[in-house]
Amino acid sequence: MSENRPLVDVRDLKEYFPVKSGMLNKMVLKAVDGVSFTIDKGETLGLVGESGCGKTTVGRTLLHLYKPTSGEVYFDGKLVTDKNIGEFRKDMQIVFQDPYSSLNPRMTVSDIIGEPLDIHHLYHNKKERAERIAELLTLVGLNSEHATRYAHEFSGGQRQRIGIARALAVNPRFIVCDEPVSALDVSIQAQIVNTFEELQQKLGIAYLFIAHDLLVVQHMSRRIAVMYLGKIVEIGSASDIINHPVHPYSQSLISAIPMPDPETARHKHRIILEGDVPSPLRMPKGCPFRTRCRFATEQCAQSCPSLTDRGNGRQVACHNM
């Protein structure tokens, strides 16, 4: 039975932030509003959507970097809480988006990568610590000579490799990759994506791969979840989502993927959404996407659709599709 259970099981996760409005009034920003998904051992789930839809908040909340407002996160069948999160820190790690701000400029690479080793007491002597740091640097495509240098001496891609090495130091089984290539040059992005794939093959790590570049997500992921204004609107296999999107928002998102072949691009139909993304402080009643949806009906204004099973692992939250 335990072999079949997912490694990460997120159930109805919510993250609400109080926001001041004027002198006395407080409003609630629903950054994540009832998100559920699973990730199997060694699997990559891609999480995509527009900037500000709550993707990063999902990743940080399930790791308890933000205290969840409500909902449950299970890791390998065990409930993760504020009280026992320390037990899971070695198993669940994160690689941050910006390699420039996520590394301490006053620490050498050796100290940056060695810090998690120090915290979790993962070595017996200094020699063993140095060997482990050198091993981690090699694993991510750097060399042991880099250990004595500082983060500012490296390029963006190299810094991200240092961030990956730091996450790998405690032998995690699951890593949240929070837009890990979006701050890098396009020429470097492919190298970092390949590094993630090679590490997954070698170490069997599961990823939640958060990004807004659908081509990168398609390349990395077995399944993709599409997010809009704090909710997952569609989830399914990467090939199904890319080739046959069902939700109107997914259709628009996929239609915006640039095509390398000019002839194909000329005949491709681009679905352009009307209007702006509503403020998460003043969400429309019913379906959050209805104000921009070409299929919206009265039912969409009355109730918010929940994710329903459409077969073959596909779930869609839409009344009309």
Alpha-carbon radius of gyration of the chain: 21
The domain segmentation of the chain, as residue ranges, is 8-91+172-316
Handedness of CA 14, 17, 22, 24 (dihedral sign): positive
The 8 Å CB, 24+ separation contacts for 24-31 are 27/281, 28/281, 29/280, 29/281, 30/230, 30/280, 30/283, 31/57, 31/230, 31/280
Give this prediction's pTM: 0.91
Using one digit for the tens of pLDDT, what is the confidence trace for 272-305?
777 778 888 888 889 989 888 888 889 998 999 9
As averages over each run of 10 residues, the pLDDT of the chain (321 residues) reads 81 92 81 94 94 92 95 95 92 90 90 93 91 93 91 91 94 94 86 93 96 89 94 94 92 82 68 78 87 89 91 90 80
| Superfamily of chain region 8-91+172-316 | P-loop containing nucleotide triphosphate hydrolases (3.40.50.300)
Using one digit for the tens of pLDDT, what is the confidence trace for 184-219?
888 889 899 999 999 999 999 999 999 988 888 998
